[in-house]
Amino acid sequence: MMRPMPRVHAAPTTAAQRVADAGLYAAVKTRDARFDGRFFVGVTSTGIYCRPVCRVRTPLLRNCRFFGNAASAEHAGFRPCLRCRPELAPGLSFVDSSRTLAQAAARSLTQAVLEGQDLRLPELAARLGVTDRHLRRIFAAEHGVSPVDFVTTQRLLHAKQLLTDTELPVTQVALASGFASVRRFNAAFAERYRLSPSALRRERIGVSAATAPAAAGAMASTPPSATRRRVRSAAAASAHTPTVRLGYRPPYDVAGVLRFMARRALPGLEHVDEAQGLVACTMGWTHAGQRLHGWWAARFKPERHEVEVQVAESLLPVLGAVLQRLRHGLDLDADPALIDPVLATVPGPVVEGVRVPGAVCGFEAGVRVVLGQQVTVAAARTLTTRLALALGEPVVTPVPGLERLFPTAAAVARADAEVIGKLGIVRQRVRALQALATEVAAGRLRLEATASLQDTLARLRALPGFGEWTVQLIALRALGWPDAFPATDIGVLDALAPLFGGRDAKAAESASQAWRPWRGYAVMKLWRSLEKVA
């Protein structure tokens, strides 16, 4: 049976559109990684769409059609490239103060797909405070496709990554991608990509061998002797775990992010090797009523503008959700082209590609912030470690030294307050911790990037022991709000003190208005300016 020809997007007809396309084409010719994920290019002669960084021969401009997202390219009839793999492209970062409802809806729909949830449009519209009819209208105007088409694209791209990077059976891939049956999955895959899931899995072998480095694992290269045994053990024990790749836009301050994480790493739960660009951490996840125990490891690959990630086999049922949390935790979707010009006006040495290390677990980020009230980073790390070792569940990992999960919100909420107090945590902090844990465990408080910002901030401010410093830092690290600014933070005030002749929170708040909407990144740069790097 002859395969149908792709529905090709019409060629640009206006002079302005031709000029705009010529500018995008320049980025394609130079394979400029700064534009990765900001647009996709469909090639009419092949019916395939690519990332602007694709290493294949550059197509002619007259054969190129440009799209703002993968869903639009697929709606026009193009299928994803097997070499550059559009599912690896970084996403777009949104600023809450100017975020449209359509952008917020896209984030929520993407997360629902990756977490295996079936988020109905009326439910999403109610969460955003609009009617579903209005949401459909503004979504199509913003993204060029309907919410249904957008979700289908996200599901298929997620399935494509699972088929390429894991050995999960096709049946499990279909279910993990949100399809109700294998039949529907196969039909959707064949309609969009004009090949079957099993055919894609066969084709990946030849493509990977020709274009990609061996997937030896995020922890498989040979490091210096100081960590060689740790890494060799992990690589051997994790031979059956998949290695997946996550892209980001350069520049990326890898050294700054690793130093930030290393200073706060919890013994028994986290390992950071700055020299090797490696981060490893234990992870617990509740899925389908069961508690999954596992770990993940991420290694930066700056030469490819990627992060290679290994995830424990036990977490494969929630792989998409884990990867989405890692994108947030490592701030891989940030756009330095928008942020760096603003940070140039922030006091301190020039640093390109500043990132805000977020949280893979929002509750854990909240606990860290509460225990960091009025103490040093080292003291907060000590208290958090004690809490984790006392209330966290044990876990077996291939990484020596990683043996404990961070405690769940339910475990902290039901713990005896006196037991927590004996860890050296003062009564006021214990009360704040358990109030936070109770709200999270009950589902009344969602500490994640897709949660309603204003509603979440209001709920946090209502908790005992939660001042504005605590609320702003949780908004920064757990909610991913790029404009969060803790004006009373000692580090921020010390970094700005030379400007004001001393610590002045009001002056800091006033000065920060010039850094909107990226004040959270300004905080990271100010903290970094205080570091004494050998």
Amino acid letter for position 134: H
The one catalytic residue in 36, 273, 340, 489 is 489
List phi, psi (to 5°) of 55: -90, 5
Q: Is 489 a catalytic residue?
A: yes
Q: How many residues does the chain have?
A: 534
Instruction: Write the DSSP symbol of residue 532.
Output: -
Find, among 401, 394, 437, the residue nearest to 417 by Cα. Answer: 437
Contact indicator for 198, 171 with CB cutoff of 8 Å: no
Tell me how far apart the alpha carbons of residues 511 and 496 are, in angstroms, rounded to a whole number: 9
Please enumerate in sequence order all residues whose Cβ is within 8 A of that of 165, keeping only pairs 6 or more positions apart, or say none.
215, 242, 243, 244, 245
Cross-strand pairs, 285: 292
109-119 b/e (C-beta count within 10 Å ≥ 16 → b): bbbbbbbbeeb
Q: Is 132 a catalytic residue?
A: no
Contact indicator for 443, 362 with CB cutoff of 8 Å: no
Contact indicator for 102, 139 with CB cutoff of 8 Å: yes
What is 413-481 written as a DSSP string? Answer: HHS-HHHHHTTT--HHHHHHHHHHHHHHHTTS---STTS-HHHHHHHHHTSTT--HHHHHHHHHHTS--
Tell me how far apart the alpha carbons of residues 280 and 265 are, in angstroms, rounded to a whole number: 10
The one catalytic residue in 36, 50, 281, 361 is 50
Tell me how far apart the alpha carbons of residues 137 and 431 are, in angstroms, rounded to a whole number: 46
Enzyme catalytic residues: 50, 489
